[in-house]
Amino acid sequence: MPQKSLLLFSLSPYKNQRWFEYLHIISLILITTQWQGPGRAPRPGPSLVAADLVDLCGRTRQADGLLLRSHSASRRFYFVAPDTDCGLWVRAAAPGDRIRLQFRFFLVYSLTPPSVPSPALNASAPPPTDPCAPGSYLQLYEGPPGTPRPLGAPLCGLTIPAPVTTSGDLLGLRLVTRGRQPRVDFVGEVTSFRLGSCGAYFPCWNGRCIPLSLVCDRWGMDNCGDGSDQASWPPANCGDCEFKSIPATSSRVTWASDLTSLCASVQFSSVAQFNSATPWTAACQASPS
């Protein structure tokens, strides 16, 4: 589980002949603790993993969630292997769950498509049923591998497709490269979810329920689809550190200024919380790692 540093200050003012103005730091203690704040969902375990489609051809993978890439060098180099026909099935975390797929990045096409015979001049050619013909494409399916049902039309081009959801617990992906210069690179977020009573699952704002391992994940995946599993407020509480109020009695200007400088000196962000009530309260907030 990720760790968090809490910077605790024991502070007391001192009074000179004219006014309370300055801050005296009696002690500075740096404590490293594991964080499991009240109501905080656990950080992701092995149920949320990264996977590469071309490395899992012909397999079925079950997980709470996947950060699914086209290949291991995604976002650095294209996948360019010609004549690829690779399929992967993803099974939801539990029976009765469904699967949602949304793409962060999507690029599937061919620079040089395969040659297609030209129709006779007087022939009436019907419109192609494959919108990606004759280039490369990604086809989504639902249902069991033996009798898959296409989940929408083949996907191709440079535009990020709309999110898709299955009606059951299986999602299939089939990548086909055609032509001499295929260009493939995509990153998708695969999420197991359920509707109705959440039980031990995390309740999203939009009514979906997702496994707790997907909440506040290290990749910032929007598994709920509405951002609620990555929010810094309840019920997710995904802030990088717990706010800790430290009381002090001093001039507001001097207190805020000195604390800001001190936080910065130890590579913490500046004042994270400032309360105008008396006594003044503030805290250093750990910078995201």
Domain ranges, ordered by start, for the chain: 3-39+250-278, 48-112+131-230
CA distance 75 to 211: 28
Instruction: Give the residue, 163 or 274, on which the prediction is more confident.
Output: 163
Does the pLDDT value for residue 256 go beyond 70?
A: no
Alpha-carbon distances of 17 from 14, 20, 21, 55, 114, rounded to whole Å:
10, 9, 10, 74, 89
Alpha-carbon distances of 65 from 210, 212, 213, rounded to whole Å:
9, 11, 8
What pLDDT is stored for residue 20 in this prediction?
A: 29
Residues 70-97 as b/e (b if ≥16 CB within 10 A, e otherwise) read bbeebeeebbbeeebebbbbbbbbeeeb
What pLDDT is stored for residue 43 in this prediction?
A: 43
What pLDDT is stored for residue 111 in this prediction?
A: 87
CA distance 250 to 13: 6
pLDDT in tens, 3-27: 433 333 333 333 433 332 332 222 2
Q: Which two tokens stand for residue 188?
A: 């998708």
The closest of 265, 271, 264, 275 to 285, measured between CA atoms, is 271
What pLDDT is stored for residue 66 in this prediction?
A: 96
SS3 247: strand
Does the pLDDT value for residue 71 go beyond 50?
A: yes
What pLDDT is stored for residue 130 in this prediction?
A: 73
- CA torsion, points 245, 248, 249, 251, in degrees to nearest 10? -80
Q: How would you classify the pairing of strands 98-110 and 182-193?
A: antiparallel
Per-residue pLDDT band for 209 (boundaries 50, 70, 90) equals very high
What pLDDT is stored for residue 125 in this prediction?
A: 54
pLDDT in tens, 110-146: 987 665 555 555 545 555 567 798 899 999 999 999 9
Q: Which of 5-19, 45-59, 189-203, 225-239 has the highest mean pLDDT?
A: 189-203
Least confident range of 36-50, 160-174, 203-217, 259-273: 259-273
pLDDT in tens, 163-202: 999 999 999 999 999 988 899 999 999 999 999 999 999 9
Average pLDDT over residues 264-289: 39
Q: For residue 217, what are the contacts with CB-CB under 8 A and spacing of at least 6? A: 43, 44, 48, 65, 223, 229, 230
Instruction: Give the residue, 7 or 207, on which the prediction is more confident.
Output: 207
CATH T-level fold of 48-112+131-230: Jelly Rolls (2.60.120)
Average pLDDT over residues 225-244: 79
Q: Which two tokens stand for residue 180?
A: 């001499």
Q: For residue 268, what are the contacts with CB-CB under 8 A and spacing of at least 6? A: 5, 7, 284, 285, 286, 287
Query: For residue 53, which phi and psi values (nearest 5 degrees)?
Result: -55, -50
Instruction: Provide the whole-model pTM.
Output: 0.65
Instruction: Give the residue, 277 or 135, on which the prediction is more confident.
Output: 135
